[in-house]
A and B are shown apart, each in its own frame.
Chain A
Amino acid sequence: MTQADLIVAAIDALNEAAVPYLLAGSVATNAYSIPRSTKDADFVVEMNAETLAQVSRRLEPLFELDPQQHLETTTWTRRYILKARTQPFEVELFLKSTDPHHQEQWQRRREIFIAFLNRSTFLPTPEDIIIQKVRWGRPKDLADTGGIMSVRGKTLDWPYIERWCDAHLTRQRLETVKASIPADLIL
């Protein structure tokens, strides 16, 4: 079973339980950047205890649900972790928060059809991934940010990115990443 098979299973389980979702994290980043390997698929979800139970039951043959709820400490987002039973791969379900940027990211999400999965899925825009990753600010997030900036170049909506980075007080970090990329790759 491949990572793609596991992601398809997760998408089908969310759809079956009528859970609105957004596929985020490095899997989504790869659509806009230099592809890199990943060990997990992050979904932002609108779900309650009942739908969580439905999803985890549907995925039970493939995944084991960690019953403990985890906390992502930058934006205080709660998440559940499903560990694949036969592979080193996890699906993380982040509960959609009331954070203003998360709300806007959700409104702007794009539905795209991915032929090799034979599924439609929802991705954040590249601008929203940059804003979130600059906010987290870990080395790998900043490397991903530089990758998106370089691959998407001038097609990015810079005023939108800068507005949110100003609001998050991360503008300096954004400018540092931008300055580290050869100018001709961005402009």
Chain B
Amino acid sequence: MTSDAISLEDLHSTIFREQVLQARRMTEEERFRAGLEQGDFSAGMMLSGVKMDFPDADDRTALTILRQRLAILRRVEEQGHFISAEAA
């Protein structure tokens, strides 16, 4: 293992530990809320990305493209399958 790999592993452990300690300082409700807010934020970012790629797309079309991308992501996460945008 290279020293770079070792330092990345240390960094990963440090970040994970900090995330755990931060989550422990929060109430159940605060954690519940934080997850939903992260979801709103990431959905907004992804939609902005689609609109950059397809500047002429109206809101409905942009949402359809975003759903296709999410379907691909979901299959990769759940099954390790890559599929085309058309199939999604």
Q: Which residues of A contact B (CB under 8 A)?
A: 2-4, 7, 26-27, 30-39, 83, 86-89, 112, 114-116, 138-140, 147, 150-151, 153, 182, 185
Contacts and interface: CB of A to CB of B under 8 A. Distances in A.
Given A88-B47, A151-B20, A185-B17, A27 B32 contact: yes
A116 B39 contact: no
Contacts of B81: none
A182 B20 CA distance: 11
B18 to A, nearest CB: 10
Interface in B13-41: 13, 16-17, 19-20, 22-24, 26, 28-29, 31-36, 38-41
Contacts of A182: 13, 17
Interface residues of B, number: 33
B64 to A, nearest CB: 10
A30 B37 CA distance: 11
Nearest to A6: B36
Contact of A87 (B13, B26, B34, B43): B43
Given A27-B32, A114-B29, A114-B32, A37 B39 contact: yes
Interface of B: 13, 16-17, 19-20, 22-24, 26, 28-29, 31-36, 38-43, 46-47, 59, 63, 66-67, 70, 74, 77-78
A33 B31 contact: yes
Top 7 A-B pairs ranked by shortest CB distance? A30-B35, A35-B34, A37-B38, A35-B35, A37-B39, A31-B28, A150-B20
Given A38-B35, A112-B28, A88 B66 contact: yes
A83 B59 CA distance: 16
Given A2-B36, A35-B32, A86-B63, 19 more contacts: A27-B32, A30-B34, A35-B35, A35-B38, A36-B38, A37-B35, A37-B38, A37-B41, A37-B43, A39-B43, A39-B74, A88-B43, A88-B63, A89-B39, A114-B29, A138-B78, A151-B20, A151-B23, A185-B20
Contact of B23 (A2, A34, A112): A34
Contacts of B66: 88
A81 to B, nearest CB: 12
